[in-house]
């Protein structure tokens, strides 16, 4: 299918999603790859992973007029080597997504709801968050909690974060789309930051993002 949607958000961020229906050969034909990405592709054994990377490059080529070069910090956070635009990237087997902002830090996570998120409850949620879970739609609720914490983790770009202790997701009512309030507590417990995230359910996937 290619470009699934591009959406300008109210906070001057840009969100774009690519549906990966093409073969690897078709994606290579669509993309204009920098040499560094060609080298990375050659050493990537998983075909699914290669297609995800190619879909990300296809999105970058759609979003930017000139060629942009993707790099990664030591902690894995992506950045554009020749642009000041802030970027966050996420992908599943079916979709790749990019969130950008001209100035503000961003965080984006995309997850397939076919995944079993039960392990998330034990390793990433506090007791209060577990008590707030919906029994009727437990896996979807867990997926949104995990995706929200991942989005904040990417936005903060810090190492050794405890998802259960440092990222608190406030109770929310599960809908097809909505807003989530969250708090990030720094390790020294002397400072915290509040965030308002947006989430959306589509095509048996959940996507959560934060700007600022």
Q: What is the DSSP string of 114-146?
A: TS--HHHHHHH--HHHHHT--STTHHHHHHHHH
Buried-state track 92-110, b at ≥16 Cβ within 10 A, e below 16:
bebbbbbbbbeeeebbbbb
Q: What is the DSSP string of 62-112?
A: HH-SS---EEE-TTS-EEETT---EEEEEE-SSEEEEEEESSS-EEEEEEE
The percent of residues in the chain predicted with pLDDT above 70, rounded, is: 100
- pLDDT tens by residue, 100-148: 999 999 999 999 999 999 999 989 999 999 999 988 899 999 999 999 9
On the question of a common fold for 2-104 and 110-211, the answer reads yes
- The CATH class that applies to domain 110-211 reads alpha beta
- pLDDT tens by residue, 28-77: 999 888 888 888 888 999 999 999 999 999 999 999 988 899 998 888 89
Report how far residue 202's alpha carbon sits from residue 147's, in angstroms, rounded to the nearest whole number. 14
Cα–Cα nearest to 71, from 56, 49, 93: 56
Confidence of residue 24 (pLDDT cuts 50, 70, 90): very high
The full set of domain ranges for the chain reads 2-104, 110-211
pTM: 0.94
CATH code assigned to 2-104? 3.90.470.20
Q: What is the mean pLDDT of residues 189-197?
A: 90
């Amino acid at each position: 299918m290619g470009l699934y949607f591009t959406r300008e958000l109210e906070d001057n961020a840009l969100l774009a999603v690519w549906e990966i229906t093409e073969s690897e050969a078709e994606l290579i034909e669509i993309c204009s790859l920098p040499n560094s990405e060609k080298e990375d592709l050659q050493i990537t054994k998983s075909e699914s992973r290669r297609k995800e990377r190619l879909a990300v490059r296809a999105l970058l080529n759609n979003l930017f007029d000139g060629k942009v070069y993707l790099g990664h910090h030591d902690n894995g956070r992506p950045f554009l080597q020749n642009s000041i635009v802030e970027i966050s990237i996420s992908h599943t087997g079916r979709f790749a997504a990019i969130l950008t902002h001209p100035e503000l830090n961003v965080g984006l996570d995309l997850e397939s709801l076919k995944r079993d998120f039960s392990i998330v409850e034990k390793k990433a949620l506090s007791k209060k968050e577990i008590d707030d879970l919906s029994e009727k739609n437990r896996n979807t609720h867990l997926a949104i909690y995990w995706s929200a914490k991942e989005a904040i983790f990417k936005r903060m770009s810090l190492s050794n974060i405890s998802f259960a202790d440092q990222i608190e997701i406030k109770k929310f009512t599960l809908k097809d789309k909505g807003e989530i309030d969250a708090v990030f507590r720094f390790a020294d417990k002397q400072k915290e930051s509040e965030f308002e995230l947006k989430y959306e359910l589509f095509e048996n996937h959940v996507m959560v993002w934060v700007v600022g």
